[in-house]
Structure 1
Amino acid sequence: MSILSLLIAAVAPGVALLSYFYLKDRYDPEPISFVLKLFFFGVLLVFPVMVLQRTLVQGLGDHPFVFSFLTSSLPEEFFKWFIVYFIIYKHTNFDEPYDGIVYAVAVSLGFATLENVLYAFLNDYDFTALLMRAFLPVSGHAMFGVMMGYHFGRAKFSSDRTSRHLAMAFWLPFFWHGVFDYTLFVSKNYWVWFMIPLMTFLWLRSLLKVKRANAKSPLRMATREERVKI
């Protein structure tokens, strides 16, 4: 593959998934500039996370369970959570529950996209390998972003249990990211039998969260009231 073709193949899955979840915002799509801003922050996260992960490997070793949960999942999901909470959570543009999903997915896919590009160029990946990464790591990051964003939305717009949902916005992606990585580690020769059911479950769960977040939009209620008046 040429360098340009390799770059396009590495970037395309993240852009496509971000577009998909952006267009799922049924009532008040977010400013594209803000979505791209969060995507860019996700890209920038790759470098400090890589340094931290290298340090953790040296200190904790590379046992599959330790690497999956403490070295890989913990720093990646924590820094994504940190960015969403401190950059956008209290912003006025975050004005309905589904916005949490859009912004968290943007951060997650920014991270996944640069990670995919680095893997492609450092490991001389071909198109087939990049296609597999689109279905697994890149898609997985999107699913973890949906979980995180859904609970950020619940935290901001629920009248109670705010702290609980803020905690779940971190702990659920952390847990499932760890499960994802650990499954790949321990089933290298027969991973397809485990990853297909896991990814199917994560996708169905994410689509349900998307539907629920849209259903809780105050803008949906306003639209319904306007129709009743008409």
Structure 2
Amino acid sequence: MLVELASTPVAAGLFFLYIKDKYEKEPWKMLFLGVLFGLYTAAVVYALGSFLEERFPHEETPFYTAFFSSAGVEEAVKFLFLFFLIWGNRNFNEPLDGIVYGVFVSLGFAWAENVIYVTHPILGGYETALERALLSVPGHGLFGVRMGYYFALGKYRNRKRYLPLAFFSPYLAHALYNYFLLKREPVFWLFFSVLEVRLWGFGLKRIKELQNCSPFREKVSKES
């Protein structure tokens, strides 16, 4: 039951993006690879995190955890996996595909992470499943939107300068997201609420923006 609870918000996020990709659906094989790359990302993040902890012992403060050991490592690895998945792939043939694949990779990672946390003998349970369904999984999806959006700008505006933003934008959002949650003080909950609203606003706006940029939009409109 806990595995199903850990998987449900991930499936909901994937389905939402699949519906939003309404002008030219991505091949099932590529979508599967996106989730699979996200699962691989989780394994690499775990291995890299263990290596860095062993080589560079440190105290786990909220700042260090948020900005380095979680957001820093996770977004860097996700960026690399997403780049190798789509940058030269012929299926990356409209701007919204950047967001679609960015979210599929991010939610693949979130799926693995969620199952680990929710089924943990000490940290897991139904309360953890609910908390992560409301906060962690949507957070990873929204970070994936930011990463994919700047990947799309990098490719379709032919400006490689957007690629650094494909890492730094989700990294900063992720770091602040975690930091505000880890502080667990009323004022930081206020900051978190503002950040959450801005992340959703940015995400929904950019999905709509790239939908409207689709080269397949006119063709689909004529057929319908």
Paired AA for residue 72 in structure 1: S
| Separation (CA, whole Å) in 2 of partners of 1:76 and 1:108 | 9
Amino acid corresponding to residue 203 of structure 1 in structure 2:
W
CA contact (8 A) 1:57 1:67 kept: no
| Equivalent position of 1:101 in the other structure | 99
Distance 1:222 1:158 in 2: 22
Give the counterpart letter for 1:37 in structure 2. L
SS of the counterpart of 2:22? coil
The equivalent residue for 2:152 is 153
Does 1:13 pair with 2:9? Answer: yes
Q: Distance in 2 between matches of 1:6 and 1:189?
A: 30
TM-score relative to the length of structure 1: 0.89
1:142 matched to 2:138? The reply is: no
> Using the alignment, how far apart are the partners of 1:96 and 1:8 within structure 2?
33
Partner of 1:207: 204
Residue identity over aligned pairs, in percent, reads 35
Structure 2: distance between partners of 1:223 and 1:124:
48
The change in CA–CA distance for 1:218 and 1:69 in structure 2 (over 3 A counts) is same
Higher mean displacement: 68-77 or 106-115: 68-77
User: In the alignment, does 2:215 pair up with 1:218?
Assistant: yes
| Deviation (angstroms), 1:53 | 1.8
2:116 is matched with which residue? 118
Deviations 1:19-62 (A, max 9, x none): 10111012001112211111011112112211222333452431
Give the AA of the match of 2:65. Answer: F
* 1:183, distance to aligned residue in structure 2 (A): 0.7
Conservation of the 8 A alpha-carbon contact between 2:118 and 2:126: no
How many residue pairs match? The answer is 221
Choose from 43, 46, 49 the match for 1:47: 43
Distance 1:222 1:155, change over 3 A: farther
Shift of 1:198: 2.1
Write the distance in 1 (CA, Å) between the matches of 2:154 and 2:132: 32
Residue of structure 2 in register with 1:196 after alignment: 193
- For residue 190 of structure 1, report the CA deviation from its aligned partner: 6.8
**TM-fit CA distance, 1:182:** 0.8
The answer as to whether partners of 2:41 and 2:81 remain within 8 angstroms in 1 is no
How many Å separate the matches in 1 of 2:51 and 2:185?
A: 25
TM-score of the superposed pair, with normalisation by structure 2: 0.91
Corresponding position of 1:30: 26
Misfit runs of 4+, over 6 Å: none
Contact 1:77/1:170, CA 8 A, preserved across alignment:
yes
What SS is found at the alignment partner of 1:91? coil
Q: Which runs of 5+ in 1 are unaligned?
A: none
Aligned equivalent of 1:70, options 68, 86, 102: 68
Amino acid at match of 1:175: L
Deviation at 1:197, TM superposition (A): 2.9
**Cα shift at 1:145:** 0.2
Decide which moves more: 179-188 or 215-224: 215-224
